[in-house]
Amino acid sequence: MIIGLSLPAHAVEEITGLIIMQAVDDNQRATNDSSFTRLKLSSCKFGVNKGRIACAESPRVKVLESVAVNYGASLKDTKSVSITIEPASERGIGMLTYSYDQEDRDNQTWLYLSALGRVKRIAGGDSEGDTEPASLFGSEFTTEDTDTGKLTEYQVNLLEETTRSKRAVWKIEMIPNQARAKKSRYSRTVHYIDKTRYVALRSEMYDKYGKEIKRSVASRVELVNDHWIARSVTMMNLVSNRLSNMALIKIYTDLDINDDFLTQRTLTDTAYREATLKQLRAQLD
Amino acid sequence: MEKLLLSLTGMFAGAPSKVLRFRRSVLLVLALVSIVMFHAMATRTTFNLSSEAFMNEDSPAQLSLEEFRRQFGSDRSVYLIYRPLDGDVFSAASLSAVQSLTNDLENWGDLDNSGYPEADLRELIHIRRVQSLTNLRVQNSVGDALISERLVPIKLPTSQVELSEIKARALSEADYVSSFYAADGSYGALLLQTDFGTEAIDSYTSALDSDTVELDDSFGDFDISFDEQAVVQKIEFKDVNPLDYLAFNDALEAVYNQYADQLEYYAVGEPSLMSQLQGILEQLKLLGYLMVLIFALLLWILFRSASALLWPLVTIALSVSWCWGITVLLGIELSSMIGLTVLLIFSVGIADCVHVMSAYFSFRRGGLDHHAALTKSYEKVGLSILLTTLTTAAGIMVLASSNLEPIRVFAVMCAFGVVLAFFFTIVLLPILLDFWHPTAVTEKGSTADKLGLRWQRLSNKVKVIMGLISAALVFVSLGLLIGAFINAVILLTYWIVNSQTKILARVPLIVERSPRRIMAIFAAILILCCYGATKIVIDTNVAGLFKDDHPLAIALNVVDNNMSGSQNMEVMIDTGTTDGILDAQLLIAVDNLQTSLEERYPDTIGRTYSLANIVKDTNQIMNDEDPDFYVIPNSNQSVAQLLYLFNSANPEDRRNLVSDDYSRSHISVNSKSMGSYGYQKMFIEVEQEITAKFASFKTTYPDLEIVLTGTMATLMVVSDEIAKSQFNGFALALLLISLIMIITLGSLRGGLMGMIPNAIPAFLAIGLMGLFGIPLDTDTLLIAPVILGIAVDDTIHFMTHYRIELTKSKSVSIALESAIREVGQAVLFTTMIIGLGFAVLSFSDYLGMAKVGFFGSLSIFVALLCDLFLIPAMIIVFKPTFGVTNVDTQIDFKGVNA
């Protein structure tokens, strides 16, 4: 049976937006379990030619390798480490993140700048939780766009069942509650969820004035380790006319990853990091 | 030439009877066209009141500003300074008020508009970001943690110890001091970024809104190619209507005034400045009504006839509406110059009518019947009116060479309006006068005459008492200043009305007694004015546009004295190379430039800010707050990684400072209010410094471009350009008018002689301003050709009449005495009407207009003195005959008067 491709039995008759988004969220999280990914982030100014959206300039490319493991009873906590491979000026920048499903527990992030040889724990400071969403590696994606969980902080409405990119989709609207709205750049997000694959094919983000400011489009939806995922997601910033494409150029799950790898040592100890990554790559072969 | 002039005079003499013969057809045609014009005015008028309407869209300054906005967003922010009434920005009460205000402005949508009845809070939609002491963030390194936290916690502390800690921490943040709070904690500031100037035009739709647009297939691959043919949609920005600023400012004021019991405000920035200017325009409108009222009252009192009041106003109203209507029918947008346009057409039109009415009145009271008086009047003044129309139009048309669209439109509209005023004076006024005309002495007196007679019958005691009561009433109702002015107008009018004949009769005698002394006095004035003109500084200063006690002048003063300065300019750096800005050496040069600017202009530049500040700050933080690391690291990789951290933490702030491909960035420079002259000088020096500091980078970055831009700076530079071009235009106008005078008077000596009485009033304003150290700004310079055009009118009337009389009488004495007597009255009346009308503008809070009013009116009165005293003195001394032969040059006014 393919996990995530069917809804819980009790919900089948009474399908709601929240249930659908929960399934999408679970599906997305499942791909993180003991995974090793090679991620390519391409950013550029975009234009349109003959009805096709394309980069109008040579894209800026960043390549990262990321290792993630899910923990906890329901595998809803995640530890991950990402190392920048390209460009040369940013090579070796590392980020270690422990994210927790529990709402009252703050995520933890450590950043390593290789040129300075320093690790710093990134802290929100006051615990008032009004930190603004940060950009993901300087791209058009923000932490808010890739967040999982926290669905209870939204009012989720199933707007309609329709088609998008020739596939049957649910059109779902997510409106943040007051607490969430303070941390969010979006007043409303509309997702088009593939009804059979539980992947957001398209998402539209609106600012507080109701104007669409960002749009993400999924391409290359593939089955990876029993989960459908979009291996290429493009986020378009409609205000600046820039886009970032996040491509999972390699993804492997269910790997044997040592817990020690997901510590600060991986950031600072290049020899250790490279040796471990070599072992991981060997598992793929 | 003489023949031509005589035939023209004959033609004008015959004009009234010709138009009266076809009066029905003429009126029908004029009425129909007027309806079309009124309709066009009502339906087709579009205004572009934006200050940038004055800027040439293709000028390098404007292009770089547009590019700046496209890249870094709107630079039209409101800088709202506040002074806590308890004197301490860091007190619990002040912090609480500012926090609530910040929250209200950030979340204005949550406010209940019924609590703000005087404003529409939806206007606050233009706010893009609000920054204040209560939401600023600072990054600190504590142990192994990099903490980004608020300078002031959301839950405000109440203990004095905690508040003191906040204050100490805030004052240690060098980049925030003087920007968000003064170093002594007495003033604070909110910075409101807006979308003014970067709003897409209404017809803009994103290319992505189309259902047929899809992502390119390459996004499905992992190797994204780029398409050189892909068109990046360029957003066309909407022009900002100053009325939008006004509505925005009203809403903003309504919100911040909720905290007025704790905070006192001083708002600066373009939205505030422009909305204050709107307030000034409202005041100008009131002054405009007062002007028309004075025009009308003076016409009525001077001519003692209601028809003399009504018909000139109808004639001028039609001139203005035709000129306006045709302009908008041609699809031309009107600008804020329309006020000055109407004023000029009004002044010239009034002068035309007054000369006709004065002549008509004189002939009627001399015993001629209506038709004969009409014919004689047009014979007498027709040619002069034509000449004054030509000279004024030519003087104004000089401005049409300006490269600024609104000034070109102003010039063409004024010239056309002046021609229309002439047309209506010739074609319409005789018909109107035929319907209803001023009465002759023998006929039943007018209401004004009757009132005058009643007044004469009163005893002196009653007259004094009534005069004092009315003066007191004027003071009570209009205030001290305007009251004093109106009372002075009444007294002057009273004196002129009662003594004009005596005054004009005495003039030739005074001149005859000592013509050389009179010439010497005027020569001294001219020399003094010329000397003053050499001292003039062409300078436009925003702070100097308003009276010292005007809220905006006070606000600018507060910002300049307590914060980093009310003006902003940007040094835009374009390396032309992706990642060029990540070059450590380039950033070091940027940092050096900032230091050098701050050191070179310590009294002017309050603050500079760029990516270099971010890099230095982040470097220090990453190195455990060690002050030795507050430098730009030497390695490009270190710079890249420090900016990586900044970009991850706050992409929006990063985007405000550097382009996405890191090829372009900018240095923001806050400076204190300074005139365009000072700016221009500073710009040249800064540009030299930029060239010196960045020359060596041209090898690595051949496309490197560094330009100075920013709204205020650009406006200053453009103001200076306008001022300089108008100054040259003024000189050209003087030359053109002289040429016309020489040609029409048929004599080089006569023409040049005629120009001296015009040169004095024209140079008077400039000379006096130079002597008193008042800079010549854009407003004063725009009015200079207007004053010249008006001043020259009376001289032409005088000289033309003198020449015609000389031809007829062959006697200098008779011709001169006749000119003083016949033209003198009309010149006296037009000077009274236009001069006093202009003087009303002196009460404007907007010093640009006040100066125009004051110096304009002064020049007009001095022109009168020139016409009445200087011209006769010169004629007596030089005895010009304008080519007329067998002239008796003997001067004997006593004999003539007898």
H/E run at residue B93: helix B92-106
Cross-chain residue pair A45–B222, CB shorter than 8 Å? no
DSSP structural state of residue A32: T
Tell me what pLDDT residue A1 has: 32
Give the nearest partner residue to A48 out of B207, B622, B645, using CB atoms: B207
Q: How far is residue B295's CA from residue B308's CA, in Å, rounded to a whole number?
A: 11
Q: In sequence order, what are the residues at sequence separation of 6 or more whose Cβ sits closer than 8 angstroms to the Cβ of residue A252?
A: A35, A36, A37, A283, A284
A181 to chain B: nearest residue by CA?
A: B107
Q: State both tokens at A109.
A: 């992030």
By the CB < 8 Å criterion, does A183 face chain B? Answer: no
On the question of pLDDT at B459 being above 50, the answer is: yes
User: CA dihedral defined by B378, B380, B382, B385, rounded to 10 degrees?
Assistant: -130
Residues of A in contact with B213 (CB under 8 A): 48, 51-53
Which residues in chain B are contacts of A62 at CB distance < 8 A? Answer: none
pLDDT band at B789 (very low <50, low <70, confident <90, very high): confident
Q: Report how far residue B869's alpha carbon sits from residue B421's, in angstroms, rounded to the nearest whole number.
A: 29
| From B150, B215, B222, residue closest to A247, measured CB to CB | B222
Both tokens of residue B447? 């209401």
Measured CA to CA, the distance from residue A130 to residue A117 in angstroms comes to: 30
CATH 2.40.50.140 fits A9-282, yes or no: no
B569-590 pLDDT, tens digit each? 888 888 888 888 999 999 999 9
Nearest C-alpha in A relative to B70: A240
- What average pLDDT does the segment B702-710 reach? 83
Contacts of A48 in chain B (CB under 8 A): 207-208, 213, 230-231, 233
pLDDT at B442: 47
Residues 142-181 of B with CB under 8 A from A: 144-150, 153-155
pTM of the model: 0.74
Q: Which amino acid is at A140?
A: E
With contacts defined as CB-CB under 8 Å, which chain B residues touch A47?
Answer: 227, 230-233
Length of chain B, in residues? 898
Write the residue in B149, B230, B642 that is nearest to A46 by C-beta. Answer: B230
pLDDT band at B416 (very low <50, low <70, confident <90, very high): very high
Say if residue B481's pLDDT is above 90.
Answer: no
> In the structure, what pLDDT confidence band is assigned to residue A132 with cuts at 50, 70 and 90?
low
pLDDT at residue B783 greater than cutoff 70: no
- Determine what percent of chain B is predicted with pLDDT higher than 90: 20
Q: Report the alpha-carbon distance of residue B841 to residue B243 in Å, rounded.
A: 23
Residue A113 buriedness (CB in 10 A; 0-12 / 13-18 / 19+): buried
Tell whether the model's pLDDT for residue B223 goes beyond 50: yes
Two structure tokens written together for B727:
């100054």
Which is more confidently placed, B777 or B475? B475
Helix (H, G, I), strand (E, B) or coil at B242: helix
B552 burial class (0-12, 13-18, 19+ CB within 10 angstroms)? buried
Nearest to B153 by CA among A106, A179, A128: A128
The closest of B794, B844, B832 to B296, measured between CA atoms, is B832
- Provide the pLDDT for residue B797: 84
> Which pLDDT score, from 0 to 100, does residue B38 have?
94
Residues B822 and B817: their CA atoms lie apart, in Å, by 8
Q: In what order do the strands lie in the sheet with B127-131?
A: B127-131, B188-194, B78-84, B263-268
Q: Which residues pair with A43 in a beta bridge?
A: A60, A244
The candidate with the shortest Cα–Cα distance to B149, out of B168, B169, B177, B167, is B169
Cross-chain residue pair B215–A115, CB shorter than 8 Å = no
**What size, in residues, is chain A?**
285
B141 touching A (Cβ < 8 Å): yes
Query: Do A116 and B623 lie within an 8 Å CB cutoff?
Result: yes
Contacts of A220 in chain B (CB under 8 A): 220
- Rounded (10°) angle between helices B778-809 and B2-21: 100
Across the interface, whether the CB atoms of A48 and B230 are under 8 A apart is answered yes
Cross-strand bridge partners of residue B267: B80
Give the one of A89, A122, A136 whose C-beta lies nearest to B146's C-beta. A122
Q: Does B467 score more than 90 pLDDT?
A: no
Nearest CB among A54, A131, A236 relative to B208 is that of A236
B58 interfaces chain A, CB cutoff of 8 Å = no
Label residue B245 exposed, middle or buried (CB < 10 Å: 0-12, 13-18, 19+). Answer: buried
Range with lowest mean pLDDT among B89-98, B408-417, B717-726? B717-726
Q: What is the pLDDT of residue B89?
A: 92
Query: Where does the pLDDT of residue B633 fall: very low under 50, low under 70, confident under 90, or very high at 90 and above?
Result: very high
Across A113-122, A160-169, A266-275, A276-285, least confident range: A276-285
The pLDDT of residue B196: 84
Nearest to B566 by CA among B419, B713, B383: B713
Percent of chain B with pLDDT over 70: 91
Q: Which of B227, B638, B645 lies nearest to residue A54, judging by beta carbons?
A: B227
DSSP letter at B746? Answer: T
Q: Is the dihedral of CA B327, B335, B832, B758 positive or negative?
A: negative
- Tell me the mean pLDDT in the region A126-144: 67
Cα B304 to chain center, whole Å? 36
CA–CA distance, B77 with B88 (Å, rounded to integer):
25
Q: Is A207 on the interface with B (CB under 8 A)?
A: no
Q: Which pLDDT does position B563 carry in this prediction?
A: 85
CA of residue B156 relative to chain centroid, distance? 47
Characterise B675 by phi-psi region: left (phi > 0), alpha (psi -120 to 50), beta (else).
beta
In chain B, positions 799-838, which contact chain A (CB-CB < 8 Å)? Answer: none
Q: Tell me which of A73 and B374 has the higher pLDDT.
A: B374
- Name the closest residue on chain B to residue A233, using Cα atoms: B219
Name every chain B residue with its beta carbon within 8 A of the beta carbon of A176.
none
A136 touches chain B (CB under 8 A): yes
Q: Which of residues 629-668 of B touch A (CB under 8 A)?
A: 633, 635-638, 640-642, 644-645, 647-651, 654-655, 660-661
Interface of B with A in 422-451 (CB under 8 A): none
Whole-number percent of chain A with pLDDT over 70: 87
Query: Coil, strand or helix: which one is B575?
Result: coil
- Evaluate if residue B422 carries a pLDDT over 80: yes
Please report the pLDDT score of residue B590 as a whole number. Answer: 94
In B540-699, alpha helices (H): 551-562, 584-600, 611-622, 636-649, 651-657, 676-694
Choose among A51, A115, A219: nearest Cβ to B213.
Answer: A51
Give the residue on A whose Cα is nearest the Cα of B637: A89
- Quick one: pLDDT at residue B724? 67
Whether pLDDT at A9 is above 50: no
Q: Which of A86-100, B9-23, B531-545 has the lowest mean pLDDT?
A: B531-545
| Contacts (Cβ under 8 Å, ≥6 apart) of A264 | A96, A110, A112, A119
Closest by alpha carbon to B218, among A139, A52, A216, A62? A52
Place of tokens 């040259």: B728
Q: Which two tokens stand for residue B766?
A: 């400039």
Write the DSSP string, B846-872. Answer: BHHHHHHHHHHHHHHHHHHHIIIIIHH
Compute the average pLDDT of residues B44-73. Answer: 65
CB contact under 8 A, A55 and B214: no
Structure confidence by residue, pLDDT tens digits, B106-131: 888 888 888 888 888 889 988 988 99
Q: What is the mean pLDDT of residues A174-192?
A: 85
- For B651, the closest of A40, A138, A220 (CB atoms) is A138
Residues in B 453-492 with any Cβ partner in A closer than 8 A: none
Cβ-based neighbour number of residue B170 at 10 Å: 21
Q: How far is A114 from chain B (nearest CA, A)?
A: 8
Written as six digits, the tokens of B217 are 């297939």
Beta strand A118-123 with B145-150 is: parallel
Q: Which residue do the tokens 């907007």 mark?
A: B846
> How far, in Å, CA of B608 to CA of B671, rounded?
9
Q: Which of B866, B865, B857 is nearest to B835 (CA)?
A: B857
B664-671: strand order across its sheet: B605-609, B664-671, B567-574, B705-709
B568/chain A closest Cα distance in angstroms: 24
Q: Nearest by CB to A42, which of B217, B220, B224?
A: B224
Q: Does the pLDDT at position A128 exceed 60?
A: no
* Domains of chain A, residue spans: 9-282
Q: Which residues contact B128 (CB under 8 A, 6 or more apart)?
A: B73, B74, B193, B194, B195
Instruction: Give the dihedral sign, CA B442/B447/B448/B453.
Output: positive
Tell which residue, A95, A70, A68, A100, has the closest CA to residue A83. A95
Q: Which range has highest mean pLDDT (B10-19, B338-347, B829-838)?
A: B10-19
Instruction: Say if the Cβ atoms of A48 and B213 lie within 8 Å.
Output: yes
Q: Is B215 exposed, middle or buried (0-12, 13-18, 19+ CB in 10 A)?
A: buried
Question: What gap in Å lies between CA B38 and CA B758, rounded to an integer?
Answer: 36
Question: For chain B, what is the mean pLDDT?
Answer: 83
Q: Model ipTM?
A: 0.80
- Segment A28-55, tens digit of pLDDT: 777 767 888 889 999 888 888 888 888 8
Distance CA B253, CA B243 (A): 15
C-beta atoms of A51 and B155 within 8 A: no
Sorting pLDDT into bands at 50, 70 and 90, what band is A148? low
CB contact under 8 A, A60 and B578: yes
Find chain A residues with C-beta within 8 A of B229's C-beta: 49
More confident residue, A203 or A143: A203
pLDDT of B321: 94
CB B275 within 8 A of CB B241: no
Highest mean pLDDT among A112-126, B42-56, B717-731, B815-829: B815-829
Provide mean pLDDT across the span A177-185. 79
Picking from B68-72, B248-252, B595-599, B614-618, which range would have the lowest pLDDT averaged per residue? B68-72
CB contact under 8 A, A58 and B148: no
Angle among Cα A175, A177, A179 to the nearest 5 degrees reads 140
* Angstrom distance (rounded) from CA A109 to CA A107: 7
By CA distance, what is B662's nearest residue in A?
A: A60
Among A43, A52, A144, A229, most B C-beta atoms within 10 A, so best to mutate, is A52
**What one-letter code names the amino acid at A138?**
G
Kindly state the tokens that stand for B121: 């809070």
A208 in contact with chain B, both atoms CB, cutoff 8 A: yes
Q: Are strands A60-71 and B127-131 parallel, antiparallel or unpaired?
A: unpaired
Judge: B578–A46 Cβ closer than 8 Å, yes or no: no
